[in-house]
Structure 1
Amino acid sequence: MSKVAVVTGASTGIGRASALALLKAGYRVALVARRQADLEETAQMAGSNAGNAMPVPTNVADPDSVAAVFTKLKAEWGRCDLLFNNAGMGVQGFLLEDLPVEKWQEVVNVNLNGSFYCAQQAFRMMKEQSPQGGRIINNGSISAHAPRPDSIAYTATKHAITGLTKSLALDGRKYNICAGQVDIGNAATNMTQRMTKGVKQPNGEMVVEPTMDVQNVANAIVYMDSLTLDANVLFMTIKATKMPFEGRG
């Protein structure tokens, strides 16, 4: 029987590319995001594998909405082998001192709370199913290591994701549940399109930054879950080779 995966943020970018890669690898994939039409488009892009895609419109910041995903998953496919916690957002155009509280809360609700809600539901299902276990992969971002200027909400949540990943990995051991994190830098998506016009650097300059093909990230997700459950990639950093990260600052 083919593996069952849940991919959040599957309507665009990294989530879409990863969902398509998993479908190509033979998975059945629940496509999770807010916009039904975009999820349907992702499914159609899978071609002959589209029948293994299940679009599930969801607001990951709403715990009841997330619970409904896993209720549907259990009813339709009976188990969950992989969760890719990918849905996320940031806010542009605010200095730290000007960031509205509601914008801070919005980023925390999606990036951190949403990841926890999805992980908790997947964890429960993986613990109870037979055979027991599964894998949870969180999208951390290189901002989990080093911030960009004017990104306090995004950076704080991505640092928090690292703690979420470590706790999931520790608490999941006794149930054969693995947890890992992929920290991504400058994958070419709609979200990173602005980098082709210049990105603010720590010294205040605007610099065009190199990007990499998003397929590299999708392939990494497939690889991380190709391991047997007695092995785990706890952290992986995949980034555009020439982007300013190692020497940022």
Structure 2
Amino acid sequence: MDFNQPPVRRVEVDPGHDLESRAWPMTLPVVRQLAREGLELARGVTFLVGENGSGKSTVVEAVAAAYGLSPEGGSTHSRHSTRESESPLHRALAVRRGIGASRWGFFLRAETMHGWYTYIENLGGDVPFHELSHGESFLAVLESRFGSDGFYCLDEPEAALSFSSTLALVAVLHRVTAAGGQVLCATHSPVLAAMPGARILEVGEWGFRETAWEDLQVVDHWRRFLERPDAYLRHLVDDEVPR
């Protein structure tokens, strides 16, 4: 028997779940496919890439909560809550853990991390997150909380990061996976998704499908935009700019 397994081997929806087939989030193609087929998670990094509203963040949030992490972010032991806004999907998920794998994890959720900073501050935390800029605080979380062989969920971490800081995040994820950690990340960033060796699942009206970086729609859009920004912008602004 293989005792050297990743923290999460598979995520699936329990057949006896009480999610209504015509109610959100089951109206999302990615969730319907997850309910039908489940999701195998390999070692290393898995990126979910897709448009706003495609459901990638909903899936990452639900997997994090089903693993035992706070939906508002933080480590396995964080139990803070400000306002419940997560979907009921996590209650229907079954997480198949790896035998002998670490039980520790961390959920970095861009839109709620300031609440976690306050929670840690009230516990006498070791890093003054609130005294740092938005991007600096994210980098401080990466440096202080990412490093063991646990399970890491990230929801659009690039939201607070510059180009160079996003590259620094790639280096952190490489270090984490080299130490045996496992990562599930929702992102819009073609820079982040370009991480060597990562598995990419593109999320959209089809559900989710494995794809290569160069075949991602977001990569195609950015490539075209950087080559001819006027071809995009001319449809959004008036032809005559006031002088």
Normalised-by-shorter TM-score class: 0.3 to 0.5
Largest Rg, 1 or 2: 2
Q: TM-score, normalised by structure 1?
A: 0.36
By relative contact order (CA 8 Å, sep 6+), the higher-ranking structure is 2
Greater helix fraction, Structure 1 or Structure 2: 1
